[in-house]
């Protein structure tokens, strides 16, 4: 992949510093939420007030925890929601709803995170803000006061300058601290995200429960996708090749009737039939290509992705290192997921360049698509990325997205799979 440019590096650092302020503000909310929940629990014996107050307080705590999970995703830390599914049937305000909340281990893990999460968030947020501010004052102190012509000795919140030499030294030291702060701020946000993961991620039992729910959902998605694909193929055949073949049959039948009476017309009809058969063949080839591209079958994922990158109207660098080939269904899913991600880059990102990296390590096929576009991609805003996620989920694959406003956008897709024997395609340099 291309190294991150200085502009992107500075932008990510400033974004992390800005989120440091937001992190402090959100962390402060943890404490009143914790107090509110405890009070709601304590009010349960008092005429059953807690039966109403506790679900409300829990919904606020879960909303705060979900916000922490979404913020963690911005730093490539995926935290799934661990909550137990709602029991079948309605859940009116009463004992069933109250019991459902209290017996869910995720409720108690959320509560256990609130206080230490607030401490970590405030501490790391303060550090991520203080270091850049410290450097910023050192950078601007001397030029500002020299420009204003003010007696600046002894001024400065962090830099109490007492002499001209100290004022001169404040500038390079300020640059050093500012760069350090911008480099450290994203890492500090990631540390906070990893801490949130320790308590807000699902436990093993919750993971099993989520796994069952995921398999149920992916099975349903697979059935729906297969039905939709069959309908698409049927529609394409009916509206395209089938209609042309019917027209071809009628043309040949008419030619048979005119064979003795009008040979010249028969010649024209046969020429029309030849043209119709060619069009039908092209449509059939396009249909087959949409089901399983021939280049994928002939050259594998490596060659297919390279051919795809060359066909798109944008410079796309490709870095692929695969010692073998995945199984055909997995290979097809990986190709179409990559194709959909690149299509989104071309259509929606406003990027000038993009890059694709594909690796296979530890029985995991990893595909990373990066672009230098405007960022701000949202999987919930359209069907493209959500469709990619569903396609990968059929094979226990995952997709994570990092797309801050201003870019860059990084789509990381992973598919667990084994590879076959070493490839022998034209790109492999063997055979």
The 10 Å CB-count burial string (b at 16+, else e) for 376-405 is ebebeeeebbebbbbbbbbbebebebbbbe
pLDDT, residue 256, reads 79
* pLDDT tens profile 257-301: 777 777 888 788 788 877 777 776 766 666 565 556 677 777 888
Domain 300-416 has CATH 1.10.150.130: no
Q: What is the CA radius of gyration of the chain?
A: 31
Please give the full DSSP string across 2-37, using - where no structure is assigned: PPPPHHHHHHHHHHHHHHHHHHHHHHHHHHHHHHHH
**pTM of this prediction?**
0.52
Question: What is the distance between the alpha carbons of residues 405 and 5, in angstroms, rounded to a whole number?
Answer: 16
pLDDT, residue 429, reads 40
* pLDDT tens profile 54-74: 888 999 999 999 999 998 888
For the cut 90, the answer to whether the pLDDT of residue 29 exceeds it is yes
**Mean pLDDT of the region 149-157:** 47
**Mean pLDDT of the region 150-174:** 59
Question: Could you tell me how many helices (H) and strands (E) the chain has, helices first?
Answer: 11, 5
Q: 242-257 and 263-291 helices cross at what angle (nearest 10)?
A: 160
Q: For the chain, what are the domain ranges?
A: 6-200, 204-291, 300-416
DSSP type of residue 45: T
């Amino acid at each position: 992949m291309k190294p991150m440019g200085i502009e992107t590096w500075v932008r990510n650092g400033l974004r992390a510093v800005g989120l440091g302020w937001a992190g402090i503000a959100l962390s402060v909310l943890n404490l009143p939420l914790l107090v509110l929940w405890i009070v709601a629990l304590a009010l349960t014996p008092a005429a059953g007030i807690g039966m109403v107050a506790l679900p409300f307080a829990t919904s606020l705590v879960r909303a705060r925890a979900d916000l922490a999970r979404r913020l963690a995703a911005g730093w490539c830390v995926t935290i799934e929601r661990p909550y137990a599914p709602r029991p079948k049937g309605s859940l009116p305000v009463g004992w069933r709803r109250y019991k459902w909340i209290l017996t869910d281990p995720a409720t108690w893990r959320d509560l256990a995170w609130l206080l230490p999460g607030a401490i970590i968030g405030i501490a790391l947020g303060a550090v991520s803000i203080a270091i850049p501010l410290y450097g910023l004052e050192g950078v601007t102190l001397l030029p500002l006061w020299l420009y204003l012509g003010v007696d600046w000795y002894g001024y400065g919140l962090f830099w109490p300058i007492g002499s001209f030499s100290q004022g001169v030294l404040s500038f390079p030291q300020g640059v050093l601290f500012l760069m350090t702060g911008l480099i450290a701020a994203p890492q500090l946000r990631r540390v906070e995200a990893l801490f949130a993961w320790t308590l807000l991620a699902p436990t093993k039992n919750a993971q099993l429960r989520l796994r069952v729910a995921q398999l149920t959902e992916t099975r349903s998605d697979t059935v729906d996708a297969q039905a939709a694909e069959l309908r698409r193929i049927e529609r394409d055949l009916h509206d395209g090749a089938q209609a042309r073949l019917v027209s071809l049959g009628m043309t040949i039948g008419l030619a048979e009737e005119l064979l003795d009476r009008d040979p010249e017309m028969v010649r024209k009809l046969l020429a029309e039939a030849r043209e119709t058969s060619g069009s039908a063949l092209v449509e059939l080839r396009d249909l087959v290509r949409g089901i399983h591209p021939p280049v994928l079958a002939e050259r594998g994922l490596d060659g297919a992705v390279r051919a795809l990158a060359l066909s798109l109207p944008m410079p796309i660098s490709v870095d692929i290192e695969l010692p073998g080939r995945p199984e055909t269904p997995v290979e097809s899913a990986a190709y179409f997921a990559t194709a959909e991600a690149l299509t989104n880059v071309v259509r929606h990102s406003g990027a000038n360049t993009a890059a694709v990296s594909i690796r296979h390590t530890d029985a995991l096929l990893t595909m990373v698509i990066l672009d230098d576009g405007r960022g701000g991609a949202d999987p919930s805003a359209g069907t493209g990325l959500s469709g990619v996620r569903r396609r990968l989920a059929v094979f226990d694959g995952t997709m994570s997205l990092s797309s801050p406003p201003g870019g860059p956008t990084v789509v990381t897709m992973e598919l667990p799979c084994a590879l076959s024997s070493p490839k022998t395609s034209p790109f492999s340099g063997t055979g």
